[in-house]
Amino acid sequence: MISLAKFGNELYTGERSYPIVQRRKWWFIIAIAAMALSGLIVATIGLNPGIEFRGGTEFTITNTQNHSGDKAREVLSGHDVKEPPRVSTVGNSTVRIQTENIPVPEGKTSGEILREVADELGAAYGVGEADVTSNSVGPSWGADVSKKALQGLVTFMVLVTIVMAIYFRAWRMGLAAILALIHDVIVTVGIYALVGFEVTPASVIGLLTILGYSLYDTVVVFDKVRENTEHLFDQYEDTYEERANLAVNQTLVRSINTSIVGILPVGSILFVGAFLLGAGTLRDIALALFIGMIVSTASSIFIATPLEVQFRNRETKIAEHTRQVRRHRGEEDAGELVGAHPATGSGHKAKVETSPDVLPGQHLGNRHQPRKKKARR
């Protein structure tokens, strides 16, 4: 079995190569299908907004062994609460009850009603007054939180586009990165809706965090693409697409290793801290991080760079260079622009004049690496 170090070295030198960029149509179809399915899930099942977003009242009962929701429904029905309360168990001795805002009768204040309901819940669950806490959130505050979350997401996207365009001096890389980020957001939200976890401010924080993670991984790949294509027009051995594909292969092992290192602790928080210990806040943020890290790693490999290559292949200069490379190789139909090399899965069957031990479209060691110009002394 090949070692990971040798595998990574072969990918970096080009001795081993996977046609990731050349098969971009398949990745685009899968990405569009995943986004469409996520949108369908959100439209049919819907998100489960927490009390911070929809407004309402939350009661937390600690040190109780009774986790039945019937008692909570019985108490709240006596106070004209029409919406069934959401009752969940946190850990082994805590019950959380979320309901709509409790109507306040004339002659009483909201504080008095909350205290009255808290006392009745304490008696129903057999705990003392100190073991029942309440928290009330108005609908206007929840709407403001939703608005701020959306503003934060839009602001992040705009700033990312500007920074990427300035850093790489190419708007196509910025656009490709943004489209990959949009894919990550939609798919993560869709899976979140499918699981049914509550959407809380912690979930939003986790979502914004994975956007930064996805951007970081994409920038690393794009930086390698820029390095490999810096002197593209000084040679006629490789096309822009092939050098970009080499960059993806060169950073493949690094992307996978970084993801594993990040996913393992987040998975521990999600499965141990949330499901076994019942920590609600940890569960909300850990699920968003867990899903987002996996999705963003995949998008940085299979979506961001292939999209950037798709945009660049439309440039006149890149298209002409691709034609010249194909003519240099002696391929048939060199007048037609074909971005992928015949041996990499593009479906063309052009003849290539090469030695029998050389497979067209593959890099064979360091001699096919992009060369940097030597500095003059």
| Residues pairing with 198 in the sheet | 48
Residues 180 and 270 in one domain: yes
The domain boundary residue, chosen from 312, 332, 367: 312
Q: Decide: 310 and 331 in contact? Cβ < 8 Å.
A: no
Higher pLDDT: 248 or 366? It is 248
pLDDT for 345 beyond 60: no
**What's the pLDDT band for 81 if we cut at 50, 70, 90?**
confident
The domain boundary residue, chosen from 137, 154, 170: 137
Instruction: State how far the Cα of 42 lies from the Cα of 165, in Å rounded to an integer.
Output: 32
Residues 174 and 122 in one domain: no
**What's the pLDDT band for 255 if we cut at 50, 70, 90?**
confident
In a domain, 362, yes or no: no
Q: What would the two tokens of residue 203 be?
A: 């979930």
Instruction: State how far the Cα of 149 lies from the Cα of 143, in Å rounded to an integer.
Output: 10
Q: What is the CATH number of the domain that holds 207?
A: 1.20.1640.10
Higher pLDDT: 9 or 232? It is 232
Residues 152 and 301 in one domain: yes
| pLDDT tens sequence across 285-305 | 888 888 888 998 899 899 999
Residues 198 and 273 in one domain: yes
Domain housing 66 = 56-137
Q: What would the two tokens of residue 264 be?
A: 């393992």
pLDDT for 41 beyond 80: yes
**Backbone φ and ψ of 276, nearest 5°:** -90, -40
In a domain, 369, yes or no: no
The predicted structure's pLDDT at residue 368: 52
What's the number of domains the chain is made of? 2
Residues 302 and 162 in one domain: yes
Residues 158 and 267 in one domain: yes
| Radius of gyration, CA atoms only, the chain | 28
The domain boundary residue, chosen from 137, 157, 190: 137
Q: What is the CATH number of the domain that holds 83?
A: 3.30.70.260
> Could you tell me the CA-to-CA distances from 215 to 155, 168, 362 in Å, in that order?
15, 13, 29
Most confidently modeled range among 29-38, 163-172, 182-191? 29-38
In a domain, 371, yes or no: no
In a domain, 328, yes or no: no
pLDDT for 89 beyond 90: no
The predicted structure's pLDDT at residue 373: 56
Residues 241 and 150 in one domain: yes
Give me the mean pLDDT over the 134-158 stretch: 75
Give the residue among 292, 34, 282, 320 at the shortest CA–CA distance from 188.
292
> Could you tell me the CA-to-CA distances from 127 to 111, 132, 133, 210 in Å, in that order?
20, 8, 12, 41
Q: What would the two tokens of residue 202 be?
A: 């912690």
pLDDT for 38 beyond 90: yes
In a domain, 370, yes or no: no
Residues 79 and 152 in one domain: no
Residues 254 and 272 in one domain: yes
Residues 160 and 241 in one domain: yes
In a domain, 42, yes or no: yes
In a domain, 336, yes or no: no
Residues 194 and 265 in one domain: yes
Residues 23 and 93 in one domain: no
In a domain, 356, yes or no: no
The predicted structure's pLDDT at residue 275: 61
CB 122: neighbour CB atoms within 10 A? 19
